[in-house]
Chains A and B, each alone.
Chain A
Amino acid sequence: MIMGSNMAECHPVAFRWPLKAKTDHGAVLMHVDPRFTRTSAMCDVHAPIRAGTDIVFLGAVINHVINSERWNTDPFFREYVVNFTNAATLVNRDFKDTEDLNGLFSGMSPDGKKYDNATWSYQRERPPRPAVAGAETLTDLLLQRVPGRPRTDPTLSDPRTVFRILKRHYSRYTPELVEKVCGCPPQTFLKVAKNLLDNSGRDRTSNITYAVGWTQHTVGVQIIRTAAILQALLGNIGRPGGGVLALRGHATIQGSTDIATLYHSLPGYLNMPDARKAHDTFRDFVLTEAVPVATSYWGNYPKFAVSYFKAQFGDAATKENDYGYDYHPKITGDHSHLPMFVDMMAGKIKGFLVMGQNPAVGGQNARFQRKALAKLDWMVVRDLYETETSAFWRNSPEIRSGELKSADIKTEVFFLPAAGLPEMEGTFTNTQRLIQKHDKAVDPPGDARSDTWFSWHLGKRLKALYADSKHERDWAIRNLLWDYDPEPAEAAHWRIKDEPSAYKILKEINGYTFADRKPLPTFAVLKEDGSTACGAWIYTGVVPEEGVNRGGSRKADDWISPGWGFAWPANRHIMYNRASADSRGNPWSDRKKLVYWDPAADSGTKDAAGKPVFGKWVAPSGEGIDFQPTKAPGFKGRENGLGFDWLSGNDAFIMRPDGKAWLFAPAGLVDGPLPAHYEPYESPVENLVYGQQSNPVAKVWNVDGNPYHKVADPSYPIVVSTYRLTEHHLSGTMSRNLPWLAELMPELFCEISPELAAEKGIRNGGYVTIRTARAEIEARALVTRRMRPFRIGGKVVHEIGLPWHWGWQGSANGDVVNNLSSLVADPNVSIHEGKVFTCDVRAGRKGGAA
């Protein structure tokens, strides 16, 4: 099922695999989407839903599944769910669900702005006796704080079990609700639900694939959670052909989040030191971040963190100075894109480095963002072409309208030429976590340089500037290891001799023993004593020995292809694949065999008497085993252990502190332990499911220049969704400057249903003007039955579509669609709600001409 994604258009190369499954193996492809797109054209079923109502649809599938005869009688589902999910776990007696509070959960603050998740916690046994008395190491600190095991009822009959709470929570999510809220015909919905259920079980698995059609909502994280819950209930996680596949939104953005260009994490998804949290000292940091998750594989948090600091600061990082923790920057708030621009508009940000990004077109409420740029003292833009962002000061709609005057803009703009794709060496990490080496083919022309070159040399110059500083705050820059000088052999071939060594960077990410600089073969050997350095523990193994980059291996087979590239972690392609075997370690079926327990295999270890111990997990396909290889299925974890010691033989979900897939999320999310339907922040209708209209803790910015529409505002009755096309790339910098691509999709157009077009007198090929409280734009009209009106709770709701690739630079120009949207975001990860908001539409051009 492809939902929240237009895979054929936006991930066309990846799409060949689902298509191959369909053409060669009879797989059923289903597309759930407001529009009929090129993906829908290739699918067997298209289920139309109003934008932003995904949780209703998915929740109704959950409801359908857990009340179905098959799910309740086929023993597979019970075995999977009881053993591998937290369905049986008992929840705090004070927890109150949306069913009790008309759309809210217990723990909401009096001002209605923040949840306290104390009542969402598990019921637990008493804490065990600690395994250590004193705390010599950070790990000891964790050992002293192991909580009691969660209490469970494997019969699932206690009303406080996660399962009972979940069942009650989704009981109102019926096919009728789907019709009323999503506008999807019940028979179409049931076709989707039935296909998923019928195609799950011992012998068959179903996959759900999504992309930014799910993430870019104020309930984005919760939408994804609903799918994860569904897949866990269907027993599809950790199994071949199953899972939830996140199609990332940009090439190698997986690598970008892995190595943490996100403000709130350190490489390997460690948390960033945060001045707002109890992070004053390194000890505090470990206690705050690691204790809640120490019974999962994150119990190795101290090893990951120390190795990270060692990689950063080298010899200067010692036990005595907490490996430089005190000098490491700490965040002080939400520094993500939207609030950063709010601060920029308020004059709080002086300088801005923009690398391969174009917020003047790609940013929400783009006019706001362009005007904010004028408040900077300086801005550096690195790109292949002059982007709208780099040109905002001399040519933009605001300049042309006179709202901004070039002479009054004090921002000093530096435009530096960047290298293009074939001109750079490095690795890509794709949406499957697969690291693939990328070879440089040619030097970039003239002064154009790669981002790695720029960052490295910038750092070198800064280090030089701060070399003699005596200030403590400059310790980090001065002591940054930063040794990426290329070997002569690496530079010999090229005109540009001072490009940093991509290999050294990757090796540092991989990790090495500090004393002899030998690469580490696995993150299992990371230490917290400073003897290992590791930039990002999840990548360990990509450089298993000196000179070897597994990202460059290219041995393919018909299935897992473990010899092709390197999938983190540890070349495991399907995460949590312990779940591909049952509670006794046997494959669920021969057809779906992946990882299973072989009691006769030599585990490679010897017992106390020196005799070989038998039994280990095997994967004939070469797939990495996402579990402790020698842990028997029946193993009972130690009550007071950490990580692998605590986790039992059925705790497949090794990154969760209880080793289970979370149907119910007691921690980690700020807007609720269970997904519930909230309307998008701007919606033409009231929430027909609960009294709570929209996500109560969504991030909003009530500042000048960012007005929001009221709920069911009659001035903006039409739903609008923004999206991408195959022919263009994001804000169009890399595609609208190429004539071959410009002529494929030359002008901004708006997709409109014939019903709406007739109502407004819009004719195909003519112009249409779209308006929100933020801005007004014009587009060519593409009238097509692929767009449709929805009947929501008895009233007709129209939806239009706008691809957002256009700006004023390049060989294909058009208005900036993101002028229309507002600054509003998901509260967990601050992602903008770009997929759905409201607007009004009229025939004709902006100025009034037809």
Chain B
Amino acid sequence: MAKGMFVDTSVCIGCKACQVACKEWNGLQGEPAHFRNDPVSMRPVAVNFTGNSYDNTGALGATDWRHVRFIERFSEDRSRARWYFSSDSCKHCGDAGCLNACPTGAIIRTGLGNVTVQQDVCIGCKYCIPSCPFGVISFSEGTGTVHKCTLCNDRIHNGLGTACAKACPTNSIRYGDVADLRRAANARLERLKSLGYGQANIYGYDEAGGLNVFYLFLEPPAVYGQPERPVVPQRRLPGASAATIAGAVAVGVAALVCFRERGQAEGKDEEVDK
């Protein structure tokens, strides 16, 4: 009975309560890269203004496990005016690239379906980082290990929901059984389509083995910064292995041909220095 979250971006107001609740519950620090020491006041001061709409977080990171995206879609004459908000986080993929890539077994899936990093096992090899098609899991210089959303692993194993879902004022983020959430999402999608939102879509039913944290978008996923057809990289392992083996075979055959001891005298095309 997998647990997950349904993120209905159509009712997200971009308030970032989810980002703050996540930091608060998980005891996360301000992202170190966002601060520099101010020589006058002798304390860290935030300097991470990006100029990218209201998004100064930029990306998910080792201490940013939720990241609200702001997408302004205005035509030049402003006749088309949309501002979308989407709270990005780990999607707890059914087929998780990070989990597949982890060589130490640090990344595991619990009985509730969420994917989490065992901080005492991780060696900080960082291989999971480029293995996530969504750019989620990140490395912390401070701990020497990787971090990401745990789906509030401690809360959900004690009968509570996720902190972000609890804090969300508009019920845009909902926690529950994935099966129930899918039903609710389908109903919401129906309703939006009937109201004329023809491009509304659910992102996460089929992607990456099914995302336990899935989304409702009003426009194609690329508008929201998500890959349209994400590929779990390990699916390409057989192909890459086969090609490499072929390469090895080629070298081996070359060696066979070039080095093979022949019965005939080796004189004409070889020279042995004396």
Contacts and interface: CB of A to CB of B under 8 A. Distances in A.
A747 B170 contact: no
Interface stretch (A13-21, A292-300, A486-494, A829-837): A13-21
A41 interface: yes
A813 B38 contact: yes
Given A8-B15, A15-B170, A38-B14, A740 B20 contact: yes
A12 B51 contact: no
A612 interface: no
B46 interface: yes
Interface stretch (A73-81, A362-370, A782-790, A841-849): A782-790
A12 B48 contact: no
A459 to B, nearest CB: 36
Contacts of A745: 54, 56
A12 B46 contact: no
B46 A746 contact: yes
B31 interface: yes
Interface in A453-488: none
A8 B56 contact: no
B51 A727 contact: no
B74 A743 contact: no
Interface in B13-39: 13-17, 19-20, 23-24, 28-31, 34-35, 38
B205 interface: no
A19 B13 contact: yes
A131 interface: no
B215 interface: no
B201 to A, nearest CB: 17
Nearest to A11: B169
A815 to B, nearest CB: 14
Given A19-B170, A726-B16, A745-B56, A785 B49 contact: no
A40 interface: yes
Given A15-B170, A743-B48, A785 B72 contact: yes
A531 to B, nearest CB: 46
Contacts of A785: 72, 74, 76, 78, 81
Contacts of B47: 746-747
A15 B171 CA distance: 11
Contacts of B31: 743
A15 B252 CA distance: 70
A778 to B, nearest CB: 13
A19 B10 CA distance: 10
Contact of B48 (A746, A782, A784, A813): A746
A127 interface: no
B169 A13 contact: yes
Nearest to B82: A41
B84 interface: yes
A749 B72 CA distance: 17
B51 A38 contact: no
A38 B83 contact: yes
Contact of B46 (A16, A743, A781, A783): A743
Contact of A741 (B20, B35, B44, B191): B20
Contact of A16 (B19, B54, B72, B169): B169
B50 interface: yes
B43 interface: yes
A745 B11 CA distance: 22
Counting chain A CB atoms within 10 Å of each CB, which of B48, B76, B170 scores highest? B170
A786 B72 contact: yes
Contacts of A9: 13, 15
A801 B61 CA distance: 31
A8 B13 CA distance: 6
B169 A743 contact: no
B56 A41 contact: no
A813 B20 CA distance: 20
A23 interface: yes
B43 A744 contact: no
B100 interface: no
Nearest to A15: B13
Nearest to A814: B49
Contact of A788 (B29, B34, B78): B78
A783 B81 CA distance: 15
Given A743-B46, A786-B72, A12 B17 contact: yes
B169 A747 contact: no
A8 B169 CA distance: 10
A747 B46 contact: yes
Contacts of A41: 13-14, 82-85
A742 B46 contact: yes
B160 interface: no
Nearest to B14: A38
Interface in A756-809: 764-765, 780-786, 788, 809
Across the A-B interface, the 9 shortest Cβ-Cβ residue pairs: A739-B30, A765-B51, A746-B46, A41-B83, A785-B74, A747-B49, A742-B46, A8-B13, A743-B34
Given A12-B15, A739-B44, A742-B46, 10 more contacts: A41-B14, A726-B16, A739-B29, A743-B30, A744-B19, A745-B56, A746-B34, A747-B47, A785-B72, A785-B81
